[in-house]
Amino acid sequence: MLIRKILPILILLFVCNICFAQSNKGMPTSRILKTATSLMEAQQYEAAEEYFKKGMAQAKAGNEPYNLAQAQEGLGNLYSKINQSSLAVEYYQKAIKMYRAQGLTVIANVVESLMKGVQGIGELYAGVEIGGKGIKLSVIEVKMTRTGENEYVLKADTSINTDAAALSYQSEKETYDAVSIFYDIIKTRFKIPSARIHIVISSGLKQELDKYNKVAYFANIVRPRDLDSQIRINYITPAQESEMSFRGIVPQRSRLIANQLDVGSSNTKGGYFDAMNNFVPVTFPLGTKTFQRLVEKTADESIDEFLSAAEKIIADSLGRVMVYEFLNKRDFKSRDVLYLSGGIVWAIASCMHPQQINDNFVEITQKDIADFRDKVYNGYSALVKPDLSKTMKPDDANASIKNIGRVVKTYDQKALLAGAIWLDELIQQVNTVNPSKKLLFPRYAYVGWISGYIMDKINKQYTGLAKN
C-alpha cells in the first residue's frame, strides 16, 4: 500500500530531473554564466562554482572565446570572494589573456585591476596642488577591493610654503622651484608615469590670477623645464573644486545623505549630491584670509578694533550673502552630517579636542566653534598653550602640543579670529533647519580635493566608453 502511494511521487521526481537535465543541457552558455553570477551574488558559492565550470567547459567545446573569458573572469571573482587568492589570480590571468586576444582592452584592464587588488598591488597617482599659500604633493595608491570598489591609500603628502598669490617675481620663482622639487620626487622616488601625474592650480589662486588675466601666464612661468610635455598644468574652478573635495572626503556610502564644506584661505566651497545624483555647489568668494584682509582695511592694529570691524562687516553685508547662498539649498541645511575642512577647522579641532590627536575623524559642535571664537579673543594664551600633562598620555600630549604649535605658526591671532567668526556665522546659517546635524572634521581633508580630482580622472577612463 505504501509503495503504491510513493511510486507516483518517485516517477514525478524522476521525470522532473530528466526535464531539468535536458533543459540545463540545452541552456546557452551565456545563460549558464548569468546563473552562476546570480548565485555568486547570493553567496551560493559552491553552486556558482559548478555553473561557472559548466559554462567554461561548454564554451571550450563550442569554441566561444568571449564566453570562455567570461567564465574565467567569473571564477576569478568567485575565488577572490572566498579568499582563494592563488586560484583567483590564475583564472584572472587566463581571462586577461583571452580578452586581449579578442581586442577587448577595456575589459582586460578592469580585470587586471581586479587581479592586482587580490595580489595587494596598487597603482600610484601623484597630484600637485598649486595654492595661494603653498604647494602640496599627494601620492595616492589606488587598489581594487574584493567587492570591486576602489580603495585609496595616501602614501605620501608634503607641502612647501610659498606665497604664489603675491604674484611677484620672488613668489613665481619659489613656486617654480617647489613644483620642480615635487616633480623630481614623483619621478625618482615613486617612479610614477606621466599619465598618472596631475598638476593643478587651485580655485583660490585662480580667483586671484583671474583679476589680472594671468592664469595662462602663471601656468607657463611655473612650469618646470624638464616637465613631460604630455603633463598639462590645469586649473580648477570653485564649483569643480567643491565636487572634487566632496568626492575625496565624503565616503561613497554617505554621498546622498551628507554635505561637505571647505573653508579655505581664499574662498569657501562645498556642496552636496541631490536625489538625481547631480552635484549642487555651495560657494563663497571669501575665505579666512580674504575676510581678514577685508577687516584690516577698516580696523587699526588693536585686536579689539579688529573684532568690532569684523562683526560689523558680517552684520552689514556678509550675513545677507550667506542667507542668499543657502536660500534655495534646503537640502544642504536639512541633512544630518556635514564634513567640514579647511585650516580654521583644523585649528578648532586641534585646540578644542587635543585628546583626539590620533583620530581620523573629529566631531566638533557649533558650541565648540563659538567657544573657540570667544577664547581666541578672551583667552588666547591658554588656548594655544594648554597643559595636557594631566589629561593625556605623554606621547599623545607631545603630539598635540606640536600640532597646536603648527596651528600658531600658520595663523596669528587675527587670522584665527577672522576664521572663527566667518565659520561661526556660516554654521549658524547652516543649522537653521537641522541644528542637531553632526559636524565632522576629517584629518586627511587637506588632500581631499586633489584626491577627488585623481579619482575623477580614474573614473573617466571608463565612463562614456559604452557610447563608443
82-92 pLDDT, tens per residue? 999 999 999 99
Vertex 337: Cα angle to 376 and 323 (nearest 5): 65
**CATH number of domain containing 73:** 1.25.40.10
Q: If pLDDT is split at 50, 70 and 90, which confidence band does 13 have? A: very low
Residue 1 within any structural domain of the chain: no
Task: Decide if 4 is inside a domain.
Answer: no
> Distance (Å, rounded) from C-alpha 173 to C-alpha 190?
25
**CATH number for the domain including 146?**
3.30.420.40
Distance of CA 458 to the CA centre of its chain: 12
Q: Please give the Cα distance from 192 to 184 (Å, whole number).
A: 10
Which residues lie across from 134 on neighbouring strands?
161
Q: In angstroms, rounded to a whole number, what is the distance separating the alpha carbons of residues 445 and 262? A: 9
In a domain, 264, yes or no: yes
- For 240-258, write each residue's pLDDT tens digit: 888 888 888 887 778 888 9
Domain count, the chain: 3
Domain co-membership, 220 together with 248: no
Average pLDDT over residues 92-103: 96
pLDDT digits (tens, 9 = 90+) for 269-306: 889 998 888 889 888 888 898 899 999 998 878 999 99
Q: Are residues 276 and 388 in the same domain?
A: yes
Same domain, 255 and 187: no
Which DSSP letter does residue 458 get? H
* 22 pLDDT more than 80: no
Per cent of the chain over pLDDT 70 is 89
The C-alpha angle 459, 461, 465, rounded to 5 degrees, equals 110
CATH number at residue 255: 3.30.420.150
pLDDT range class, residue 164, cuts 50, 70, 90: confident
Indicate the residue among 181, 205, 236 that finishes a domain: 236
Q: How far apart are CA 126 and CA 130, in angstroms?
A: 13
Query: Does 9 map to a domain?
Result: no
pLDDT of residue 4: 52
CA distance 207 to 223: 19
Give the three cell numbers for residue 379.
583667552
Position 468 in a domain: no
Q: Are residues 258 and 212 in the same domain?
A: no
327 lies in some domain: yes
Q: What is the pLDDT, as a whole number, of residue 109?
A: 86
What integer best gives the mean pLDDT of the chain?
Answer: 87
Do 292 and 317 fall within a single domain? yes
Residue ending a domain, among 84, 100, 119, is 119
CA angle in degrees (0–180, nearest 5) for 260-263-265: 150
- Say whether both 35 and 175 belong to one domain: no
Give residue 59's domain range.
29-119
Mapped onto helix, strand or coil, the DSSP state of residue 286 is: coil
Percent of the chain past pLDDT 90, that is, above it, reads 55
Question: Do 253 and 377 belong together in one domain?
Answer: yes
Task: Read off the pLDDT of each residue in 88-109 and give the average, rounded to a whole number.
Answer: 94
| 283 and 328 assigned to the same domain | yes
Last residue of a domain, one of 184, 201, 236: 236
Predicted pLDDT at 2 = 42
Whether residue 283 sits in one domain with residue 204? no
307-355 pLDDT per residue, tens: 999 999 999 988 888 888 888 888 889 999 999 998 999 999 999 999 9
pLDDT-derived band at 187 (thresholds 50, 70, 90) equals very high
For residue 22, what is its C-alpha cell? 535536458
Distance (Å, whole) CA 252 – CA 438: 17
Query: Are 399 and 357 a contacting pair, CB within 8 Å?
Result: yes
pLDDT at 3: 47
Which residues have C-beta within 8 Å of that of residue 117, sequence separation ≥ 6? Answer: 80, 143, 144, 145, 146, 151
Grid coordinates representing 178 are: 617647489
Task: Identify whether residues 218 and 346 lie together within a single domain.
Answer: no
CA gap 352, 373 in Å, rounded: 11
For residues 316-345, one letter each, b for 16 or more C-beta atoms within 10 angstroms of the residue's C-beta and e for the rest, the string is eebeeebeebbeebeebbebeebbbbbbbb
Residue 433 to residue 237: CA distance in whole angstroms: 29
The string of pLDDT tens digits covering residues 42-61 is 999 999 999 999 999 999 99
pLDDT at 11: 44
Q: So what's the pLDDT on residue 464?
A: 54
Q: Please check whether residue 424 lies inside any domain of the structure.
A: yes
Distance CA 348, CA 363 (A): 11
Beta-bridge partner residues of 199: 128, 233
Asked whether residue 47 is domain-assigned, the answer is yes
What does the block give as the cell for 38?
A: 546570480
The pLDDT assigned to 388 comes to 93
- The verdict on 209 and 272 lying in the same domain is no
pLDDT at 147: 59
**Residues 70 and 128 reside in one and the same domain:** no
